[in-house]
Amino acid sequence: MRNQADILAKVNKHAYANPTVVDWYNDLDFIHKPEAIILQRLTPLIKDKKLLDIGIGGGRTSKLYLHSRLPAQALQYEEA
């Protein structure tokens, strides 16, 4: 099973290092309706809090925090 995980990690690393893929993710500027609803409901509760978003993937939803002016730190875990 570990071999499959290693293969998947290698494929993902190769794909996400591709400049075309990076540009594609960088250009994404939408959120899904459930994400919008969650953010709308949570914003009044977290507006004065610091937010830590772990596991952001391509960072698509991280842009939400900028637009909603929520103080946030976002990070993506990667094996060394």
Phi/psi class of residue 67: alpha, beta or left (left: φ > 0; alpha: ψ in -120 to 50)?
alpha
* Residue-number span of the structural domain to which 71 is assigned: 2-75
The rounded distance, in Å, linking the Cα atoms of 1 and 4 is: 5
Counting the structural domains of the chain, the total is 1
Q: Is residue 49 part of a domain?
A: yes
Q: Which residues have C-beta within 8 Å of that of residue 26, sequence separation ≥ 6?
A: none
Answer whether residue 24 is part of any domain: yes
Q: Is residue 50 part of a domain?
A: yes
Q: List the pLDDT tens digit at each of the 80 positions of the chain.
A: 578 888 988 898 888 889 998 888 888 878 889 988 988 898 888 888 888 888 887 777 777 777 777 788 888 776 65
Residue 1's pLDDT is what? 59
Residue 80 belongs to a domain: no
Asked if residue 59 is part of any domain, the answer here is yes
32 falls within a domain:
yes
Residue 71, in any domain of the structure: yes
Per-residue confidence (pLDDT) for residue 79, from 0 to 100: 61
Residue 34, pLDDT score: 93
Residues 55 and 57: their CA atoms lie apart, in Å, by 6
Which pLDDT does position 41 carry in this prediction? 92
